[in-house]
Structure 1
């Protein structure tokens, strides 16, 4: 009898967990945004500067013991039903992560084909999704911010820089339409050579149905196999040869052949990487960008002070381009000095200035104290496509957009129409090494852009039906 009672109790608990997870999934997929921060530990706000002057990230052990953040007016948020729902979803995310089974692995072609057949297909039946192929070693302590990105197998080494510059969890989706063996060999070597990658980065693999293969190749055909010096992050290493950046060995090789006829599914990959997030906040960026030191903890302090304001806010991180070979600025003042020297400029200033101008870089540069003025508000204007930190309840990326053009702006546009506001963070920034010039893009860029432009027109019409009560338009 006692055994039966235990079984009934276990079944009931399992049913509760499954129902809770199903409710969260339905709400997420239907873009029914129920924001609210987690009522858990958060960093203490102190009077120090926004960054350690050494350029290193602040000590992550500086945490408050309070489990009940207060709203701006001082009242508790516990009575807010939306807040409570967010708390429950955050807790469920952590439970789901802890209960997750290890990802299936393989060492032969036969094993790969067997695993591949068991992996879920996406809705288009084009891709097999291998979530958490390797998982980060660090545990999440809510609230936290997960850095989210995506790449193809030829750019796996860029994850080194993400782990070096971001002191929290990282979720990366990797597209492998070709030889899986070579990609995994690179991934193994990167993780073997970099403690921070092992500790912080979870990799999710996306295979292409009927295209991805597992074929062993000789070690000589794996340019990255071997010494760990082949894997140094160009942003982290000292400059050599009169300012030339030290590059991973892979980048010194002949450019790899692109996959003919295979469109790069950037938005699909972003959604895959997002689905690997179990923290309260996320920060979606491109794989070759680097966040400023200390940005994560600086933002968490801000969010702890303003929990209600952050419920429906996307916090924009200003993005700059750095002249190739210039020293990497570690803190805000160093970036401003680099900008004044002409070695840094706003992202896309020459390639597409209107795509970044609404960030109002002049105002950001003029702020003398990010502590006294941590943010400033801006309205979305077409065709602004900023990078921002937000709750995980933002609209998903529209997976119809592939390759170049309108893939990010479509999600930014929907974020605005759905009711989110934008505030620019003054205490941090993003860096892209190398100036972006109009002629630096690939030759098919214009064709891809034109194809997605007509899709974007349809997308904007779809938003009117999806958000009929919204007065905002793209």
Structure 2
């Protein structure tokens, strides 16, 4: 009986604590109404906000609520005006993105926004280190006009939310948007906050225009929840956090961090509500105390495709849709009457050619970055009457690059003798990946030349493969197709630049290394004391003409196969005997990661690898042949570029021109060490 009395007392104390806390919160919010609006709606002037310590950030709908705008039609500062849609106005969008998977998702979201937009955009990304590297490279190489990108370190913000009990599938990053008022610039008056799992079906400027409809007290625009979660009737003993009616879906959200702390800091025991199911629990608990804070958006601005939703009631025709939200762990596998339509719309942007989004905007002058200025100037200087114009233009083509397209586990501290296999490929060599992974246990860095649609095919292939899905030390970097030539040396440079180990094994995807080569190379690097010398280790290459080959398990078995007058043969010997001798020596080598880059003027077939070996020699690298290592070239259909080389005299003539220019450049850079190549070229 005493135990029962104590339990009742604890419950009473928890209830009283909660009541006092919520009452104090309500009074606190009421007494600080000005500060609340300062935090979100920028109701005062910039000088008043700075003087009173306020934050000028508003968050509308899919995350935001700014009442005043501080930008002129093309993004400059102007006098305060009521927010409304203005063609050319700079719109701000904030997104939390962490990890490899979210980085892929955010690209599809951005494509759907860019497809419809008519305004300059400034994306604010709160990212971990992985997403930062991926997205920074992607936007730098995408070079979309009138797009600005800023990054904020999620690690600096984690302490703000890491203490919160949370069981939502998105983990701590689902709470990160609660830190927006601290992360974003203090002079930012309003922002649209988005999740990565949404798709726009209209111009985002229509959403920005909603700012003009807010009352003086409304600080956030949200769509009502389309499920019965907050009604508490989904199952027996279902006790959700408090909410106003159905509550609000805040998959796109942004309330102040201090409101979060007032609600949760006393701990789940004091609140008596249990762990957070999701961050929107906090928003809904605050909103329930003061419903006037919210501008209710029509639900077609957030058609929620999670389980137990009534999203069909949001629209009469699918043409009414504005934003589709895949807010379920099931994502595209969720059940909905119109899910096929929604899925097709999503897949359209998933596979849409991102190069087509590099269009200029009308109404405001573009603000190009210095790299794009330099690129445009170089393109304008090209002579269109030059017989090799197409080669020179391909060299200057800016390819979009999506680094670490799949999950990759970065090495905390690589061994000083560790080595990464580096190669490049296109869709027609995809079948080599599993074999490479079976032969090489160490880290691999691959550049894949693909269209947007092919990248998704590769993703499905890799995820379905038991061999590939089991590996976390293979880095896949997508270089998106553009132009008429295969940019082979650009691909090699992308794969090379994104390695972590001190040494790299520079090879091609159609060569299978001998079993155990990874361990053999690491031992050789140590035994030959490579860290103390400037040397390149040569892995002897052989060729087989048989598609089905019993791969030799040792060098002795390989030699036995050669003695039997059958394959394999020295690589390429059947049609290019000079590949194993001067002057066109192009072995496959192991070198330090900081070796010279490949010369990107060479595209398609011919001289792309030879030029790199020549530069190593010009830098006076020792070339050391490894006696007990080997690799075997596997047969395949000829590439499109080698066919052009064989059939086109113009192609071969341009390649000769590029060779001569390369020799001249090499001689200018390295002097006497490279002069021998220019002399040999002229004597032929």
| CA positional deviation for 1:142 | 3.7
Query: 1:186 pairs with 436, 458, 463, which one?
Result: 458
| CA positional deviation for 1:184 | 2.0
Query: 1:121 pairs with 114, 126, 141, which one?
Result: 141
Tell whether the 8 Å contact from 1:119 to 1:130 is kept in structure 2 after alignment: no
| CA positional deviation for 1:329 | 1.0
| CA positional deviation for 1:283 | 0.8
Tell whether the 8 Å contact from 2:604 to 2:642 is kept in structure 1 after alignment: no
Matched, 1:391 2:592: yes
| CA positional deviation for 1:383 | 1.0
- Change in CA separation of 1:308 and 1:318 when aligned onto 2, cut-off 3 Å: closer
Q: Name the structure 1 match of 2:472.
A: 199
Tell whether the 8 Å contact from 1:106 to 1:112 is kept in structure 2 after alignment: no
Q: Name the structure 1 match of 2:427.
A: 153
Q: Name the structure 1 match of 2:656.
A: 453
Query: Following the alignment from structure 2 to structure 1, what is the Cα–Cα distance between the partners of residues 463 and 676?
Result: 44
Tell whether the 8 Å contact from 1:326 to 1:343 is kept in structure 2 after alignment: no
| CA positional deviation for 1:138 | 7.0
User: What CA deviation, in whole Å up to 9, does each residue of 1:118-144 have, x standing for no partner?
Assistant: 522286352111111224347444421
Deviates more, 1:382-391 or 1:326-335: 326-335
Q: Secondary structure at the match of 2:453?
A: helix
| CA positional deviation for 1:443 | 4.7
User: What CA deviation, in whole Å up to 9, does each residue of 1:254-280 have, x standing for no partner?
Assistant: xxxxxxx62100000000000111101
- Change in CA separation of 1:107 and 1:445 when aligned onto 2, cut-off 3 Å: farther
Matched, 1:470 2:673: yes
| CA positional deviation for 1:186 | 2.6
Q: Which runs of 5+ in 1 are unaligned?
A: 1-99, 212-260, 359-380
Query: Following the alignment from structure 2 to structure 1, what is the Cα–Cα distance between the partners of residues 531 and 616?
Result: 16
Q: Name the structure 2 match of 1:30.
A: none
Matched, 1:419 2:620: yes
Q: Which runs of 5+ in 2 are unaligned?
A: 1-96, 115-134, 143-374, 376-395, 678-684
Matched length: 299
Query: Following the alignment from structure 2 to structure 1, what is the Cα–Cα distance between the partners of residues 608 and 532?
Result: 25
| CA positional deviation for 1:411 | 0.7
Q: Secondary structure at the match of 1:167?
A: coil
Query: Following the alignment from structure 2 to structure 1, what is the Cα–Cα distance between the partners of residues 439 and 532?
Result: 24
Query: Following the alignment from structure 1 to structure 2, what is the Cα–Cα distance between the partners of residues 186 and 305?
Result: 39
Match runs of 1:202-213 below 5 Å: 202-208=475-481
Tell whether the 8 Å contact from 1:404 to 1:449 is kept in structure 2 after alignment: no
Q: Secondary structure at the match of 1:407?
A: coil
Query: Following the alignment from structure 1 to structure 2, what is the Cα–Cα distance between the partners of residues 135 and 152?
Result: 20
Q: Name the structure 2 match of 1:226.
A: none
Q: Secondary structure at the match of 2:673?
A: coil
Q: Secondary structure at the match of 1:267?
A: helix
Q: Name the structure 2 match of 1:222.
A: none
Q: Name the structure 2 match of 1:167.
A: 441
Matched, 1:348 2:572: yes
TM-score (norm 1): 0.57
User: What CA deviation, in whole Å up to 9, does each residue of 1:216-261 have, x standing for no partner?
Assistant: xxxxxxxxxxxxxxxxxxxxxxxxxxxxxxxxxxxxxxxxxxxxx6
| CA positional deviation for 1:303 | 1.6
- Change in CA separation of 1:111 and 1:330 when aligned onto 2, cut-off 3 Å: farther
Tell whether the 8 Å contact from 1:321 to 1:436 is kept in structure 2 after alignment: no
Matched, 1:337 2:560: yes
| CA positional deviation for 1:188 | 3.0
Tell whether the 8 Å contact from 1:160 to 1:194 is kept in structure 2 after alignment: no
Q: Name the structure 1 match of 2:514.
A: 292
Match runs of 1:44-83 below 5 Å: none
- Change in CA separation of 1:385 and 1:108 when aligned onto 2, cut-off 3 Å: closer
Q: Secondary structure at the match of 2:512?
A: strand
Query: 1:102 pairs with 99, 102, 115, which one?
Result: 99
| CA positional deviation for 1:446 | 5.1
Deviates more, 1:164-173 or 1:448-457: 448-457
Query: Following the alignment from structure 1 to structure 2, what is the Cα–Cα distance between the partners of residues 436 and 279?
Result: 33
Query: Following the alignment from structure 1 to structure 2, what is the Cα–Cα distance between the partners of residues 309 and 106?
Result: 41
Q: Secondary structure at the match of 1:151?
A: strand
- Change in CA separation of 1:469 and 1:451 when aligned onto 2, cut-off 3 Å: closer
- Change in CA separation of 1:434 and 1:175 when aligned onto 2, cut-off 3 Å: closer
Q: Name the structure 2 match of 1:130.
A: 402
Query: Following the alignment from structure 2 to structure 1, what is the Cα–Cα distance between the partners of residues 505 and 475?
Result: 15
Q: Name the structure 1 match of 2:498.
A: 276
Cα RMSD of the aligned pairs, angstroms, is: 3.1
Match runs of 1:300-311 below 5 Å: 300-308=522-530, 311=533
Query: Following the alignment from structure 1 to structure 2, what is the Cα–Cα distance between the partners of residues 310 and 156?
Result: 38
Query: Following the alignment from structure 2 to structure 1, what is the Cα–Cα distance between the partners of residues 429 and 615?
Result: 29
- Change in CA separation of 1:436 and 1:382 when aligned onto 2, cut-off 3 Å: farther
Tell whether the 8 Å contact from 1:351 to 1:437 is kept in structure 2 after alignment: no
Query: Following the alignment from structure 1 to structure 2, what is the Cα–Cα distance between the partners of residues 127 and 282?
Result: 24
Tell whether the 8 Å contact from 2:434 to 2:467 is kept in structure 1 after alignment: no
Matched, 1:314 2:536: yes
- Structure with greater contact order relative to length (CA < 8 Å, sep ≥ 6): 1
| CA positional deviation for 1:441 | 5.1
| CA positional deviation for 1:194 | 2.8
